[in-house]
């Protein structure tokens, strides 16, 4: 009798009971769905590997302030991705899935995640998410973002930086320290229009802010990963140039004086007082 044919002479099991179900399973194993169930595995290591790119971006944003620290963050991220895949492979062997052909794919974590999902029933979701997050991290990390900055972005970096970020003015306190450089200079200019310009040379960005009353030159270091070390290199007020300690004292006078919001409040209060006095005179 050939496989798949009904054996009418062997329809009974050893106990003499009719055993048609077992008889068909004996010759038609393709219909035995109980043998095709996929074991469940712990996927936490896989999902950690998938999240590595976005975790690295988060750490970079809050702690990497120089080229060296940026390199450390991303080298650690790549190492974590490989270690997560290696740890997952060892786990699968202990879980009895050592026969899966995944070892060679450890050369590239993305390939490992793809094969792992295919062989364990996770599907392609982890692989697709990892590819998307990898591309996102590749475009948005500090190394790429600095190279994508145009002149307007570099100019805005200086204008929007807080007064406290200027080297040598860290001891300025109060609300003035939290104001942007642009707002403080506009308040100090007394209505004069400020002209801004930007240039770059040898890893250094120079920004000039000048009007009829003053001329300030800012310098920012650019190390290929981040902008840092904001300082004022030239200071001229009412035609007089300041250097050394005199320049620091004059800068504190410019940036550490009455904040623009306080000045506006003061002007409004003065206007209100003047109006009240006029009303009293008229009444008298």
**Per-residue model confidence (pLDDT) at position 202:** 80
Mean pLDDT for the chain? Answer: 81
Which tokens go with 69?
């620290």
**Per-residue model confidence (pLDDT) at position 241:** 95
Out of 16-20, 23-27, 248-252, give the one with best mean pLDDT.
248-252
**Per-residue model confidence (pLDDT) at position 95:** 84
User: Given a cut of 70, is residue 83 above it in pLDDT?
Assistant: yes
pLDDT band at 176 (very low <50, low <70, confident <90, very high): confident
User: Given a cut of 50, is residue 169 above it in pLDDT?
Assistant: yes
Strand order in the sheet with 204-210: 195-201, 204-210, 214-222, 227-237, 240-242
- Is residue 93 within 8 A of residue 57, CB to CB? The reply is no
pLDDT band at 257 (very low <50, low <70, confident <90, very high): low
User: Given a cut of 50, is residue 74 above it in pLDDT?
Assistant: yes
**Per-residue model confidence (pLDDT) at position 30:** 47
What pLDDT, in 10s, does the model give residues 19-36? Answer: 554 544 444 454 444 444
**Separation CA 198–CA 219 (nearest Å):** 10
**Separation CA 80–CA 58 (nearest Å):** 15
**Per-residue model confidence (pLDDT) at position 38:** 56
**Per-residue model confidence (pLDDT) at position 224:** 86
What pLDDT, in 10s, does the model give residues 185-244? Answer: 999 998 899 999 999 888 899 999 999 999 999 999 988 898 889 999 999 999 999 999
User: Given a cut of 60, is residue 85 above it in pLDDT?
Assistant: yes
- Is residue 24 within 8 A of residue 11, CB to CB? The reply is no
Cα torsion 39, 44, 50, 56 to 10°: value is -170
- Is residue 146 within 8 A of residue 222, CB to CB? The reply is yes
Longest distance between any two alpha carbons in the chain, whole Å? 129
**Per-residue model confidence (pLDDT) at position 45:** 94
Q: Are strands 227-237 and 204-210 parallel, antiparallel or unpaired?
A: unpaired
Give whole-number Cα distances, 36 to 20, 27, 32, 101, in Å: 21, 17, 8, 18
Span of 148-157, 167-176, 189-198 with lowest mean pLDDT: 167-176
Higher pLDDT, 118 or 60: 60
**Per-residue model confidence (pLDDT) at position 284:** 44
């Amino acid at each position: 009798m050939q496989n798949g044919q009904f054996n009418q002479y062997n329809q009974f099991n050893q106990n003499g009971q009719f055993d048609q179900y077992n008889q068909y399973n004996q010759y038609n194993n393709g219909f035995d769905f109980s043998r095709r169930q996929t074991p469940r595995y712990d996927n936490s290591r896989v999902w950690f590997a998938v999240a590595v790119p976005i975790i690295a971006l988060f750490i970079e944003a809050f702690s990497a302030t120089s080229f060296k620290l940026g390199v450390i963050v991303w080298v650690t991220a790549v190492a974590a991705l490989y270690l997560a895949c290696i740890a997952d492979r060892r786990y699968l062997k202990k879980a009895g899935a050592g026969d899966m052909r995944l070892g060679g794919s450890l050369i590239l974590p993305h390939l490992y995640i793809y094969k792992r999902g295919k062989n364990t029933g996770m599907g392609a979701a982890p692989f697709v998410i990892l590819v998307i997050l990898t591309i996102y991290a590749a475009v948005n990390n500090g190394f790429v973002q600095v190279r994508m900055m145009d002149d307007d972005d570099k100019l805005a970096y200086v204008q929007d930086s807080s007064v406290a970020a200027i080297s040598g003015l860290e001891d300025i306190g109060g609300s003035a320290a939290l104001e942007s450089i642009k707002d403080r200079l506009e308040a100090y200019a007394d209505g004069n229009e400020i002209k801004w310009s930007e240039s770059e040379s040898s890893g250094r960005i120079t920004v000039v802010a000048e009007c009829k009353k003053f001329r300030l030159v800012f310098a920012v270091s650019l190390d290929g990963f981040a902008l840092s070390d904001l300082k004022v290199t030239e200071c001229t007020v009412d035609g007089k140039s300041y250097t050394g300690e005199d320049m620091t004292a004059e800068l504190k006078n410019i940036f550490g004086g009455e904040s623009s919001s306080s000045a506006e409040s003061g002007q409004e209060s003065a206007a209100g007082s003047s109006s009240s006095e006029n009303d009293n005179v008229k009444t008298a």
